[in-house]
Amino acid sequence: MSTIEIIDRAKSEGRTILTEVESKQILGEAGIPIAGAQLAASREEAVTVARQIGLPVVLKVVSPDISHKSDVGGVKLNLGSEEEVAAAFDDIVAAARRAQPGATVLGVSVQKMARPGVEVIMGMTKDPQFGPVLMFGLGGVFVEVLKDVAFRIVPLEPRDARQMIRDIQGFPVLEGFRGQEPADLAALED
């Protein structure tokens, strides 16, 4: 499905937020390197995808109604066998439906387990006064708890992207704080 088709479908469904799988499809189409994710609508599909991409994998609930997957039990990490993948699919779907009974659950995303690192968040909005604005910060729970993000009007020059990344208070984490591996700052700037 093309970027236009993904966005048109979301609009026709009255959504203002894309699912993780949709977002990754758009980023991939734009040439941005991402950890691929495939939608699996059944436990059998989840096992098949896991077999194709290789274990261990991560499963995450896919729902246009659930933004915070971890809060609803919608994430299972480091699944090392097909049996674990099948059980995790059932657990995730059941947990999501328990936590948000009215939510539409499309299935799970299946992706290769990444090595530990720092998660970042990037987002865009259209400001009524300034137009398109890009947001950057540390991702995961950090963005929710610390709200440590930087904003820039787009388009950006490379120096603007570089400075934006350095403007967040969490920048030392990206540099490799306390022996952690540093993030690929050049890739983030691109």
Show pLDDT as tens, one digit a residue, over the chain (190 residues): 899 999 999 999 999 888 988 999 998 999 888 888 999 999 999 999 999 999 999 999 999 999 889 999 999 999 999 999 999 999 999 999 999 999 999 999 999 998 888 889 999 899 999 999 999 999 987 888 888 999 999 999 999 999 999 999 999 999 998 888 899 999 999 8
- Return the pLDDT at 177: 85
Whether the Cβ atoms of residue 49 and residue 38 lie closer than 8 Å to each other = yes
- Return the pLDDT at 3: 94
Q: Which domains does the chain have, with CATH numbers?
A: 3-112 (3.30.1490.20), 120-189 (3.30.470.20)
- Return the pLDDT at 110: 98
Closest to 88 measured CA to CA, from 62, 60, 56, 68: 60
Whether the Cβ atoms of residue 89 and residue 108 lie closer than 8 Å to each other = yes
- Return the pLDDT at 60: 97
Q: Could you give the C-alpha distances from 26 to 29, 32, 152, in angstroms and in order?
A: 5, 9, 21
Length of the chain: 190
3-state class (DSSP) for residue 150:
strand
Virtual torsion, Cα 75, 80, 27, 17, nearest 10 deg: -20
- Return the pLDDT at 16: 87
- Return the pLDDT at 79: 98
- Return the pLDDT at 157: 94
